[in-house]
Structure 1
Amino acid sequence: MKLAILAVGHKPPDWVARGCADYQRRMPRELGLAVIEVKPEARSGKTREQLLAAEKTRLLAVLQDYPRLVVLDERGADLSTQQFAERLERWLQTGGNTAFVIGSADGVDESLKQQANATIRLSSLTLPHALARLVLCEQLYRAVSVIRHHPYHRQD
């Protein structure tokens, strides 16, 4: 199974790219993690709906290789680390590549959200998109650590 983070946005700061690369390197071989940048639509006088529709088209082109879609959204399910690990474990058992979509500053097209297998949020706080990429990379690695009973994740 492959995992991917599809992030609508521009190249993140070097410290974010290095952090994501570190967690990607730590993932087990059989559970590769890719971080794929999707170009945001140029704003130039377009409505929010037009921007999101153009970004949706770009996302769908990449999503063809990922039958399971998880959208990150501020109104998504608020999962604990353990709950996130349990979901990931179920997805691993059923198979199929999984893509996590982080939308642009304007969010994610509503029809794409409707197609999602799950909608989750990383935090009740507002996170910059680059930081959300890094947090999601870390949480995916942490979830795998929980599943494999690796000491990276410590519970009380």
Structure 2
Amino acid sequence: MDMTRYRPGRGVANLSDEFSRFFSSPLFDAVRDFSTVETSQWTPAVDIREETDKFVVEADIPGVKPEDIEVTMEDGVLSIRGERSSERDTDEGGVRRRERAYGVFYRRFALPDSADPESVRARGEQGVLRIEIGKRETAVSRRIPVER
């Protein structure tokens, strides 16, 4: 009879490896989106798309004044920070229900190397912040011979 050595922790190690591979897959990019931080009091919805000559970011920020928005790009990371001020309650009653969020928001997005930080434009219209980031010319790859 052949004997097989029993390793009690080996099954858990395999499971841990499987979980690591699973959660590092592209499927979970949205889960690893650390674009909001604990200091944010609300999170605007954002769409990001790539066009042939630029990246376009659109954020829903109704009620936020342009002077209350800060857009920066550093080391390939686009940051959007702003604040939506609360409407003052009147003395003629009071708020019975409040579903809209107010306060500070902060979002960050890593962009590909082809994003050109010198060609960022931001515009706000009808409650939507639209940011356009131009693309740099892509380097042409070439084959490098390996010498003997």
- Structure 1 length normalisation: TM-score? 0.28
**TM-score, normalization by structure 2:** 0.29
More helix by share: 1
Indicate the structure (1 or 2) with the bigger Cα radius of gyration: 2
Greater relative contact order structure (CA < 8 Å, 6+ sep): 1
